[in-house]
Every structure is written in structure tokens, then in C-alpha cells.
Amino acid sequence: MSPFHGDLGTLLDFPSLAICISEGDTLGGRLAYVNHAFERLTGYAREELLGGRCPLLDSEGLEETHRQALMSALRNGHPFTLTLTCRRGDGEPFRNELSLSRLRLTDGRRYLIGIHRDVSQREAYQRRLELAQAVFNNTHDGILVTDAEKRIIDTNPAFTELTGYQRDEALGKKPNLLSSGKHDSGFYESMFAAVESRGYWSGDIWNTRKDGSQLIENTTISAIRDESGHIANYIGVFRDITQRRLNQARLERMASYDPLTGLFNREHFNTLLESQLASLEYTQSGLAVLFLDLDDFKPINDSYGHACGDELLIEISRRLKHLMRANDLTARFGGDEFVIALTGLGTADKAAKVAGKVMDDIIRPYQLDNGELVKVSVSIGIAFTSSHEVSAAQLLDAADAAMYEAKQQGKNRLAFATDLERQTESQDAYTLVKAAFEGGQIELFFQPILSIHRRSIIGFEALARWRHPEKGILGPQHFIDVITQSSLSLPYGRWLIDEAARVAKRFHAEGHAISIGVNLSQDQIETGAIVESLASARHHHGLTHPFLVAEVLESTHFHDLDLACGLLQEARNLGAQIALDDFGSGISSITYVSQLPLNTLKVDRTVTRHVEAREDRRQFVSGIIRMGHAMGLQVLAEGIESEEQLETLRLLGCDLAQGFHIGHPMAESEIIERYLAPTRPPRFALEAEIGSPSWV
């Protein structure tokens, strides 16, 4: 009787170890015992196995190397472990980790004990680990792994190649080891908030290599969570796109700008000019092209060399940039030719005055780097039109011909194009707009302003619209230039403030401390009309709480900035708030931010566009927000069209938002219905209490 039945057999019946015992100490012995785990491993029943040879140790089915190794171990009498491929009863192969040992009982009987383990999954897992390690070590993308505290615990060779930091130098450090300083804390907070919410973040990061050189990376950061759902590790995979980004930026700039002076090139200027000419269909406010050709530039080039000539062209371009308004176009067409497009002038005489300033500025002496003092003059041809039917090519050709006529008259002269005369439609446009304004066809629509952190509406911007009897609702591009550049400007400004007061009164009466923003022109401010209109509207409508936000366009050019500052401060003393509109779209903003008595910066929609997707936009907007906050100002982002934009701005610390995602411009009746008598709750409700000024 086999000694392995009864209690000993029960003792050997381990659930995780397949055990078989055969008689004798050779591979061909008959099986005297198998446990249940062996039955499950092989697919054979115990009754089929006992008395027969072990199907997993069939020497005929073994590879020769394995058979020789087994035989040698048995002869030496040492325990032996070997992994080999075996087959189950149904023919399925598996990897078997076999341990063999000999057993001699006191009565002299000998047995061979075999312990079998299916290690197929373990080996497959090991192969996956080896493959992963090979990928980790051989990929050309940099990889870094951190713990939950964002300390680096591993890097791959490509990380060293791309950053210059050896693995040992990076271990234990945080990824800000690579920081370039181009991203603020808001950027990283937004990035890791995305990782935590959706498991990954992907985008471009500006970093710095060990040697201090720039490294722009396209990066994906992923979170690895443990069984309890907590983040255990972060994995960053990045590739170097520095050269690609620099090439892209260079190509984009080359497509639009003159590489020497930074002014628009001919092609881009023509495109912009066509757009400005098309707008004349609605404004008819006039557009002038000044075609400039330098006098006596060639002798300077010949005498001092092309480098000095280029230096002179660069300085002339700087002077032209300084003279022009933000909405004017300035281009270099090549050689010593420059072209300027002036919009909204109204008459050709005003274009001539600007041309005279250009001539006076250009004729001032230039100090070259070689110490030489040189002087040039300029011949200017002027072509003016108020008709949208004139093409850009026609206007340029006319200005070019006039410039040659000026040269024939002598140096430092200007001449007008003879084939483009001032149009009579400008006066017709004024008559139509004046009748519309006096007839009540100009009305205000209101776009809501959101407090980002409180997620409630705290005010509106009043936007003028023309309810045309035939064409329907027309935007401001159809009439506002005519108003602000004519005698209608001051009456229109008084009407704006009075309408803002009247509508604000309705909301104040319901307990909502909203303010209404209105865009005011230069003369509405510099004449003091804003102060008189504000005091009158407060008295007429019995307003005790602040109601007005006076918005100053970033492109406004005050004749007397000190006077404008004083009048705006008087308006503030009467309870108005002052906002700088379209911030970031022009060149005068910083001057105004530092000098005007502002409460709020309104960031232009061209700056906030794609802020949720583009790192460079986030960086720019974040800088504006931090600057505004450092100066004690609130920052309002315009053009918000999605929740993603809004959330990004919240993470960047922006205070207020405006755009189609918050609400479209609405007629007065619609905002009353939506916010004071809603049939269903709006997406963003009104701020509830009368209290401090709503935009503060």
C-alpha cells in the first residue's frame, strides 16, 4: 500500500502546488500519488493517472537538453528545478516550473517527488516588463516618472539626451528643474487640475536645458492610480519641438511682415487694405493711402554701405510706427518705399496733415552707428476715397502715380491723386445716420458680465445697434464712425449715459446692484461731457448707487492725456468706474494702464481666443492678469465662447468674463424677461444684493 494515502496524502494536498510522486528514482516510474492541484493542472483525473507514468515527465516528449539535465540531476541525487513546455490533457501547452527531488523511506523504498507550477502568466508578464524596459530605454521621446509628490524617481536615456541632465542629477528633484520661467503657477495648476480630472494633460511647455538653451516640448502627462484610486505616480513623455516651433513662427512672420523693418509686407498690407475698403460700404468715413519714397537714399547706401542703409530704413520704420494710430496700416513695399493706410479721416485735407507730420519727422537727422549724421527727405503721394467700390490696387496705383508727380515737383513734396476725388457719399451717410439717431432707430443691446468666481451676473455692457426699417438689426460698423467723427458725437454720448442710468434703475429697484458699461469716445471725455452727463443722469433717475462703467477704447488717442485723466477721475468721484477696453490689441495700452484712473482691464477677444488650447495664449493672458492685479485692477476677459475657456480663465485668476457663452447681446425687453422675470432659471443668475459697486 502506498504510504501517501490517508493523513499524509491530505497533508500534501496543497491547493497551489501540483504534486506527483512516482515509484523509483527514474523518470519512467509509476505514479503512486497525485493531489487535486495536479489533476487541475494536467486535466487528468486521479484514477487515470495512478499506476501510470507521469504525462509531464514523459522522456520521449522532452527536449533533449531538458532530458539530459533531468537525468544528470537524478544521477547526482540533487534537487533540481527546470522550466519546460508541457501539454495538458487537451493538448494545450503551458510553461511548467518543475522541481524534482528523491525520497528514500526507512524500509528502502525509493520515490521521485515532482512539484509543478504553471508559470505561463508569470513569464508573459516578465516578457512584457522586458519589452516595456526596452521601449523605455530606446525610445527617442524623453520620459520621466515621479511619485505622488512629483519627485522624479526615474528617467530614460532620451531624457538625458534632450535635457542634458544625467539620471542621477534628476532623481529626487521635481520637474521644475527644467523650468524656463515662461509659465506661471496658474499654468501648472491648470495643467495638473486637468491631469487629476481626466487622467492626462497634453500640450506644449517651454523649458530650459541644463546648458541654459531653450527647449520647447510637446508633452503628455498621465496619472497612475493605485487600487484605492489615489494617484501614485505621474509619467511625463515629451519630444523636442523647439526647431519646429521656431521655424513655424519664422514662416508665419515671413508671410506677413517685412523681415528688415517688421512692418507689414506688400501682400499682407494689400489684404488688410481690401478689408478696410470693404468697410466703407457702411461707414463711408474715408480712407487715404500715403505712398512714400525716400529722397537721396541711394547716395547714403553707396557712400556708407548697405548695412548703414538698412540701419536708416529700420529707424525710419520706427518713426512711422510712432506716428501712426493703432488702427492705421504701415508697410514697406521694398527698397526705400513705404505705404500707409489711414482710416476714418473723413477728408483728404486731414490725410494731407498727417502726411505733413510724416515729412517733418522723416527729415530730422539720423545718427548712424558709425557716427555719421545723415539726412533724407521723402516724396509722398496721397490717394483718398470714401467709396467701397475702389479696389486696393486702384488706390495704390493712384497713390504711386501721385508720389512720382511729387518727385517731379522737387524733393520733400506731397501730391494728390487726380483720378480719385473725394466722394459725396460721406455726407449722405451722415444724413442717414443723423435721421436714424434722432428718429430712435439707434438703440442699446445689453451683453451680460459674469463674476467668474461667484458665477453670477454683475453687470452689462451696452452695445449700440441700428434697427434699420429695411435691413433689420445692423451692427456698429454701419454707423458708429459717422457718429463719433461728426457733430452727433456729444449728443450720442449724453444719450448713452442716460439710457444706461434708466436701465440700471430698473435693476436697482429689484435689489440688483448692476452697473452698465458704455463705450465713450475721445471728445466725449476731453470736453467734460462725461462728467456733466453722469451728474445729470444720476439726478434725473434718482440713482443712489453707482451704475456706470465708462469704457475707454485702447485705440483712443487723447490730445491731452493729463486733462483726460483729470476728467475721468471726476467721473470716478461721482461713482463711475473706468475700464480700458480691447486691452492687448494695440500699442498704447501700457501708457493708459499706468496713467488713467482705471478700475478694470478688459482683455480683447483676439487675446483670449484659444486660451484653453494654446499655451502661448495662456502665458500672455496670465501675464496681463498678474499685471492688472499688481496694479489693483480687476481683469475682464472678452470673447468667452465655451466653458473650457471660462474654466481656464478661472484657474488663471481672471475676475470677470464676457462673451457668447455668458450671453449674447440682448434687447432691453429680453434682459428684463431673462433676469428680472424669468420663466426658467438662466445659466447664470443675477448678483442678489444691493451693495458695493458691482465691478469692484
Q: Kindly report the CATH number assigned to the domain that includes residue 159.
A: 3.30.450.20
Same domain (yes/no): 521, 618: yes
Rounded mean pLDDT of 21-28? 81
Rounded mean pLDDT of 44-73? 78
**Is residue 208 in some structural domain?**
yes
At residue 61, the pLDDT reads: 57
Same domain (yes/no): 321, 218: no
For the chain, give the mean pLDDT: 86
Of 190, 217, 246, the last residue of a domain is: 246
Same domain (yes/no): 479, 549: yes
Q: Which stretches within 262-364 are classed as H helix? A: 266-283, 297-304, 306-323, 348-362
CA-CA distances (angstroms) from residue 430 to 277, 424, 426, 436?
18, 11, 6, 10
**Is residue 194 in some structural domain?**
yes
CA dihedral 343, 347, 351, 353 (to 10 degrees): -130
Reported confidence tier of residue 59, pLDDT bands at 50, 70, 90: low
Cell of 330: 504701415
Q: How many domains does the chain have?
A: 4
**Is residue 129 in some structural domain?**
no
Reported confidence tier of residue 691, pLDDT bands at 50, 70, 90: very low
At residue 695, the pLDDT reads: 54
The sheet carrying 152-155 orders its strands as 152-155, 142-147, 231-240, 214-225, 200-208
Rounded mean pLDDT of 125-146? 88
Same domain (yes/no): 505, 639: yes
CA-CA distances (angstroms) from residue 178 to 141, 174, 210, 220?
16, 9, 8, 16
Rounded mean pLDDT of 403-407? 87
Reported confidence tier of residue 426, pLDDT bands at 50, 70, 90: very low
Would the pLDDT of 587 be above 80?
no
Same domain (yes/no): 45, 160: no
Q: Residue 253: CA atoms inside 13 Å, Cβ hemisphere, count?
A: 12
At residue 423, the pLDDT reads: 38
Between β-strands 110-118 and 93-104, what pairing exists: parallel, antiparallel or unpaired?
Answer: antiparallel
**Domain ranges, residue 63:** 7-123
Same domain (yes/no): 389, 457: no
At residue 692, the pLDDT reads: 44
Cell of 15: 491547493
Q: From the CB of residue 507, how many other CB atoms can be counted at a distance below 10 Å? A: 26
**Is residue 252 in some structural domain?**
no
- Which range is least confidently modeled, 216-220, 353-357, 557-561? 557-561
Percent of the chain exceeding pLDDT 90 equals 45
**CATH number of residue 547's parent domain:** 3.20.20.450
Q: List, as one string, the DSSP characters of 617-649.
A: HHHHHHHHHHHHHHTT-EEEE----SHHHHHHH
Would the pLDDT of 277 be above 50?
yes
- Which range is least confidently modeled, 434-448, 574-588, 658-672? 574-588
Cell of 365: 537727422
Same domain (yes/no): 171, 184: yes
- Which range is least confidently modeled, 516-520, 583-587, 612-616, 651-655? 583-587
What is the H or E stretch that residue 429 is in? helix 425-438
Percent of the chain exceeding pLDDT 70 equals 92
Beta-bridge mates of residue 201: 221
Same domain (yes/no): 407, 433: no
Same domain (yes/no): 187, 230: yes
Cell of 478: 454701419
Q: From the CB of residue 542, how many other CB atoms can be counted at a distance below 10 Å? A: 10
At residue 468, the pLDDT reads: 92
**Is residue 134 in some structural domain?**
no
**Is residue 130 in some structural domain?**
no
Same domain (yes/no): 117, 238: no
428-434 contact pairs (CB < 8 A, 24+): 428/284, 429/283, 429/284, 429/285, 429/482, 430/482, 430/486, 430/488, 433/466, 433/479, 433/482, 433/483, 433/486, 433/488, 434/486, 434/488
CB-neighbour burial class of residue 480 (10 A; exposed 0-12, middle 13-18, buried 19+): buried
Map residue 148 onto helix, strand or coil.
Answer: coil
Same domain (yes/no): 389, 469: no
Cell of 440: 430712435
Of 402, 423, 444, the last residue of a domain is: 423
**Residue with more model confidence, 13 or 364:** 364
Of 398, 423, 448, the last residue of a domain is: 423
Rounded mean pLDDT of 397-420? 84
**Is residue 691 in some structural domain?**
no
At residue 696, the pLDDT reads: 45
Q: From the CB of residue 117, how many other CB atoms can be counted at a distance below 10 Å? A: 18
Same domain (yes/no): 322, 440: no
Map residue 311 onto helix, strand or coil.
Answer: helix
Q: Residue 443: CA atoms inside 13 Å, Cβ hemisphere, count?
A: 15
Give pTM, 2 decimals.
0.44
Rounded mean pLDDT of 220-239? 92
**Is residue 233 in some structural domain?**
yes
At residue 157, the pLDDT reads: 93
At residue 420, the pLDDT reads: 60
At residue 427, the pLDDT reads: 45
Q: Which stretches within 471-550 are classed as H helix? A: 480-484, 489-509, 522-526, 529-541
